[in-house]
Amino acid sequence: MTSKTAKQGTDKATKTVEEFTAAGQEAMQSFVQASVDGYGKAFENARERAEEFAKGYDKLGFGGKETVEAWIAAGNAYAKGMEALNAEFMSFTKQMVEENVTTARKVMGAKTLQEMVDLQTQFARTSMDGFMAEGTKMGELAAKVAQDTAAPINSRMTAVVEQWSKTAA
């Protein structure tokens, strides 16, 4: 009876261990499957968001038609502005040369030293005032050129950032 009881005890223990092992394996498989499913859903969700972002990036069109048009508009504004600056500079230079020639003729025709000094003083004062006024005018014109050149690019970048914000949200 001892061997039969021992056999039954062993069988019962074996059965219990097998049931416990099977239950543990089943629990482990369920856990692994749930983890795999959870990770799968998470990665699928991440993949979908990445695809949406990529589509949004394509819509941003950093190299698209609108961006190229913005750069072309900026280039045209710059060229037009530089042309205006150059024209203004050339006009001022012509005016200064004419004033130099006129003053030189007057100085050569001066009858007294005092008259010559007065002409030179007047010329220096007029030249300085002219340089200051022209410097201010050129500075304002250069600022306008910079603003006009940047405007199309700023406008495009604003549109890109707005689109990016919508895509990221």
Which structural domain, as residue segments, surrounds residue 14?
A: 1-60
C-alpha to C-alpha distances, 159 to 62, 91, 165, nearest whole angstrom: 11, 40, 10
- Residue numbers in the chain where pLDDT is lower than 50: none
Residues 75 and 137 in one domain: yes
The domain tally of the chain equals 2
Q: Which amino acid would we find at residue 108? A: M
Instruction: Identify which of 89, 118, 88 has the alpha carbon closest to the alpha carbon of residue 103.
Output: 118
Residues 154 and 99 in one domain: yes
Question: What pLDDT, on the 0 to 100 scale, is given for residue 59?
Answer: 55
Residues 67 and 145 in one domain: yes
Residues 159 and 117 in one domain: yes
Residues 122 and 50 in one domain: no
Helix (H) or strand (E) run with residue 139 in it: helix 113-168
Residues 134 and 88 in one domain: yes
> How far is the C-alpha of 51 from the C-alpha of 45, rounded, in Å?
10
Question: What pLDDT, on the 0 to 100 scale, is given for residue 112?
Answer: 93
Number of neighbouring beta carbons within 10 Å of residue 60: 18
Domain boundary pick from 12, 42, 60:
60
Residues 51 and 123 in one domain: no
The number of helices, as runs of H, and strands, as runs of E, in the chain is 3, 0
Instruction: Identify which of 131, 87, 123, 129 has the alpha carbon closest to the alpha carbon of residue 105.
Output: 123
Residue-wise pLDDT for 57-90, tens only, equals: 555 555 578 888 888 898 889 989 999 999 999 9
Residues 48 and 74 in one domain: no
Residue pair 60/164 in contact by the 8 Å Cβ criterion: yes
Question: What pLDDT, on the 0 to 100 scale, is given for residue 166?
Answer: 78
